[in-house]
Structure 1
Amino acid sequence: MNRNNDQISSAQLAFTLAITMIGIGILSMPRTLVEKVGPDALFVVLGGIVIVVVLAFIISKLVTKFPKEGIVEFGNTLLGKFLGTVMALGLFAHFIFFTAIEVRMFGEIIKTYLLLHTPLEVLMISYLLTVVVVVRGGIEPFARMSQILFPIILISSAMAILPMIGELDFTHFLPVFRTPVLDLVKALPLMIFSFLGLELILLFSAFVKDTKNIAKNVMFSAGFTGLIYFVTVAVTIARFGLVETTHMIWPGLEIYKTIDIPGAFIENIQIYVLASWILSVLMTTVGVYYGASLTLSRIIKSPEQGFLAVLMLPVIYYLALMPDGLLQTLEFMDLFSNYLGTLYLVLVPIVLLGMSLFIKKKGGSKSE
């Protein structure tokens, strides 16, 4: 099924998933959580981490039952040809919309913070062309890039936060447990959907050489990503407070505007943080774009995944232009997360794992 240069390790899979999950959502996450649960946002983050690590375990157990197969193949085995194809087409649509939203949000943020006078369309087309070049390279170069860039992005972001530690005010979280438990539970989906991208394991596991290590590496990837989210939310709220955080569209970026290093030779550190973020969101978009082209190639049984990625470009560009402004883009992102996100990150893996266990049990009973 796989070419020799399309093999990755489970550790590379973990890096790939982590860098894909950390994309656009981390920038607005502090605001959305504070709007829902106020100072108890960190409890929602912790609850979301636990749930997603469990989901990572469930998905890992599913894919390890079908080594060297992706969801298109084992979906047909478990659901039959018709239902399996319908599910795969839905997954393809999921990745297409995911990519379009990432592209539009990237364009909006770059236009707001860096290239104010550059047309949005030019930013999006340039970005899409860059993404397609990486996608055409295949899974192994993408995994290697993730393995190299993830530590760089993490270290640069952490070093940017260090100077402001003395200015953080954690009394903004007091008193704790102001929010009713039911409201905390209702806010959990917001946190869970910040891990969109984890579902790529349903496809990428087919390329993993050491399948027995998938579960532990993927669970670590989900947990470590959750830790990054926890630190981001904690630092943002401690720096801005509850009220100011809700008044910002992207508090995850605004926080770097407040960094002041006396005597530093770098005057505008925000530019360097934005550069790290651009690399991060690029890898997120590459991951979901590759997922879309790979899913389509498996559905139609075409070996030309790279060529399909080029054909998909105008479709994604058109979808990215559909929202009328930033606010509608944010609404589309929420709508997408609530429906397709729930389906392919939560429901589909649980149902397929249940069916695989049932079929195995049924087969074992017949053999007896």
Structure 2
Amino acid sequence: MYKMKEQLDSINMLAFVIHGMVGVRLLTLPRDIVQYAENDGWMSVILATILAFLTGFAFYWLGTIYPKLNISQIAEVVLGKVFGKMIMMGIALYVGLSISMSLRSFADNIKLFLLDTTPLWVIITLMLLISFYCVSQGVKAIAIVLDIILPFTLVFVALLILLALTNADTKNLMPVFYGGPKPVFRGFLEIVHPFLGVGTIGYIMPYFQIKKAVKKWITIGILIVGVVYMAIVLMCIMVFGSREIQELLFPTLSLSKTIQLQVEMFERAESLFMAVWIPITFTTIVTYFFSSFLNMKALLNTKREKMVLYGHLPILFIAALIPQNTVEVHYYLMLTNELAKILSFAALPLIVIATFIKERRRRPS
């Protein structure tokens, strides 16, 4: 199913990077930042974007050193079986929790805004099976789906930002840097999780024959996501103010509600937002599912791909139903953020340093 002969074009990297980073937390990200950084939340996004660049290029560099291995396999090669397996288990926990909570958050919002009488388990099952089918078709099929959805996603987000400008007030951004660097840094730490979606690079790199060509698309992808997140945070602050955002459950959705369209068939702009948010969530789940599949395959050291793929279904389904309410869902999403910090600030640097030392020993000159 996932064979190395399935080669991707360099431009395919763009969709993997963007869809890996833009997902279910698009709805809550402004609140998560503003509760700490307040008016300066956009500065936290800049720090997170810098982290994404460092992380993305670390994965890219590792992919050029070990062109036929994904990040899980590289971890075992450079750290040994014991520490390598520990890294893989950490990734498995992080990715699995991210997928299951994305499924649950998706189901909660669909039930709240669109299908209020449909049981949660039905919504979760449908999204999980669709994502499963896409991943089961191979990496080329995933790339095609992501490429098709990407332009619609970017166009809609751009329209959302432009149309909301009519309600924006730049005074809400003042005073700038009032609380100093500490609140900005705390806001940055709260959004490590979505930006760690750039880690998809570590799993997709082996499928590109010409490694150098993808570097440009990694840069463009991270830059686009950074601009999108910063624009949304800025717009939410300018429209609502930092105090009011902290009282909103879904600030980005509330932002779409402020848009008044004159065309009768598009009277409720939030309905348009939900229509686009559904495929955004789907593509993020697919990219994480893809990463989880390759990670578990390396962890179990097996070539039985169907067993690994099918094994995800009951685990993700049960995990998605564990939270009793949206408060618990948010708690688990914050837990994924803590795991993202560990992987970003500890596991990945450890792999990079070990690889660098190993390369120096192998080529002393």
1:354: which partner in 2?
Answer: 353
Kindly tell me: are residues 306 and 286 of structure 1, through their superposed partners in 2, closer, same or farther at Cα, counting changes over 3 Å?
A: farther
1:159: which partner in 2?
Answer: 159
1:134: which partner in 2?
Answer: 134
In 1, Cα distance between equivalents of 2:93 and 2:33: 27
Deviations 1:331-355 (A, max 9, x none): 11112211x2123334222211111
Deviations 1:135-176 (A, max 9, x none): 111111111211221111110232244333222111100121
In 2, Cα distance between equivalents of 1:71 and 1:162: 39
Give the 5 Å matches for 1:47-62.
Answer: 47-62=47-62
Deviations 1:279-322 (A, max 9, x none): 01100001111211222223334344344222211111111111
Kindly tell me: are residues 174 and 280 of structure 1, through their superposed partners in 2, closer, same or farther at Cα, counting changes over 3 Å?
A: same
Task: State the Cα distance separating 1:263 from its structure 2 match.
Answer: 4.3
In 1, Cα distance between equivalents of 2:268 and 2:4: 45
Q: Secondary structure at the match of 1:72?
A: helix
Q: Which amino acid aligns with 2:286?
A: V
Do 2:52 and 2:196's aligned partners in 1 also have CA atoms closer than 8 Å? no
Q: Secondary structure at the match of 2:234?
A: helix
Deviations 1:255-276 (A, max 9, x none): 1122112244422232222111
2:186: which partner in 1?
Answer: 186
2:198: which partner in 1?
Answer: 198
2:236 equivalent to 1:209: no
Of the structure 1 ranges 156-165 and 131-140, higher mean CA displacement relative to structure 2 is found in: 156-165
Kindly tell me: are residues 38 and 72 of structure 1, through their superposed partners in 2, closer, same or farther at Cα, counting changes over 3 Å?
A: closer
Task: State the Cα distance separating 1:2 from its structure 2 match.
Answer: 5.8
In 1, Cα distance between equivalents of 2:119 and 2:2: 41
Q: Which amino acid aligns with 1:184?
A: V
In 2, Cα distance between equivalents of 1:353 and 1:25: 28
Kindly tell me: are residues 42 and 119 of structure 1, through their superposed partners in 2, closer, same or farther at Cα, counting changes over 3 Å?
A: same
In 1, Cα distance between equivalents of 2:263 and 2:315: 49
Kindly tell me: are residues 56 and 268 of structure 1, through their superposed partners in 2, closer, same or farther at Cα, counting changes over 3 Å?
A: same
Give the 5 Å matches for 1:95-134.
Answer: 95-134=95-134
Kindly tell me: are residues 278 and 53 of structure 1, through their superposed partners in 2, closer, same or farther at Cα, counting changes over 3 Å?
A: same
Do 1:92 and 1:296's aligned partners in 2 also have CA atoms closer than 8 Å? yes
Q: Which amino acid aligns with 1:186?
A: R
Kindly tell me: are residues 306 and 220 of structure 1, through their superposed partners in 2, closer, same or farther at Cα, counting changes over 3 Å?
A: farther
Give aligned-pair identity as a percent.
22
Kindly tell me: are residues 345 and 142 of structure 1, through their superposed partners in 2, closer, same or farther at Cα, counting changes over 3 Å?
A: farther
Q: Which amino acid aligns with 1:363?
A: R
Kindly tell me: are residues 206 and 345 of structure 1, through their superposed partners in 2, closer, same or farther at Cα, counting changes over 3 Å?
A: farther
In 2, Cα distance between equivalents of 1:55 and 1:113: 36
Kindly tell me: are residues 221 and 121 of structure 1, through their superposed partners in 2, closer, same or farther at Cα, counting changes over 3 Å?
A: same
Kindly tell me: are residues 263 and 95 of structure 1, through their superposed partners in 2, closer, same or farther at Cα, counting changes over 3 Å?
A: closer
The two structures, once aligned, show a CA RMSD in angstroms of 1.9
Kindly tell me: are residues 176 and 228 of structure 1, through their superposed partners in 2, closer, same or farther at Cα, counting changes over 3 Å?
A: same
Kindly tell me: are residues 215 and 347 of structure 1, through their superposed partners in 2, closer, same or farther at Cα, counting changes over 3 Å?
A: farther
2:341: which partner in 1?
Answer: 342
Q: Secondary structure at the match of 1:196?
A: helix
1:145: which partner in 2?
Answer: 145
1:244: which partner in 2?
Answer: 244
In 2, Cα distance between equivalents of 1:187 and 1:272: 29
In 2, Cα distance between equivalents of 1:140 and 1:169: 45
Do 2:99 and 2:289's aligned partners in 1 also have CA atoms closer than 8 Å? yes
Do 1:88 and 1:295's aligned partners in 2 also have CA atoms closer than 8 Å? yes
Task: State the Cα distance separating 1:5 from its structure 2 match.
Answer: 5.9
In 2, Cα distance between equivalents of 1:317 and 1:23: 19
Give the 5 Å matches for 1:320-339.
Answer: 320-338=320-338
2:109 equivalent to 1:84: no
Kindly tell me: are residues 177 and 160 of structure 1, through their superposed partners in 2, closer, same or farther at Cα, counting changes over 3 Å?
A: closer
Q: Which amino acid aligns with 1:235?
A: M
Task: State the Cα distance separating 1:20 from its structure 2 match.
Answer: 1.8
Of the structure 1 ranges 133-142 and 68-77, higher mean CA displacement relative to structure 2 is found in: 68-77
Taking structure 2 as the reference length, the TM-score comes to 0.94
Task: State the Cα distance separating 1:105 from its structure 2 match.
Answer: 0.7
In 2, Cα distance between equivalents of 1:92 and 1:50: 25
2:271 equivalent to 1:266: no
Q: Secondary structure at the match of 1:197?
A: helix
2:294 equivalent to 1:294: yes
Do 1:92 and 1:295's aligned partners in 2 also have CA atoms closer than 8 Å? yes
Task: State the Cα distance separating 1:60 from its structure 2 match.
Answer: 1.5
Question: Which contiguous aligned blocks of 4+ residues in structure 1 show a shift greater than 6 angstroms?
Answer: none
In 1, Cα distance between equivalents of 2:349 and 2:43: 25
Q: Secondary structure at the match of 1:127?
A: helix
Do 1:28 and 1:252's aligned partners in 2 also have CA atoms closer than 8 Å? yes
Do 1:69 and 1:206's aligned partners in 2 also have CA atoms closer than 8 Å? yes
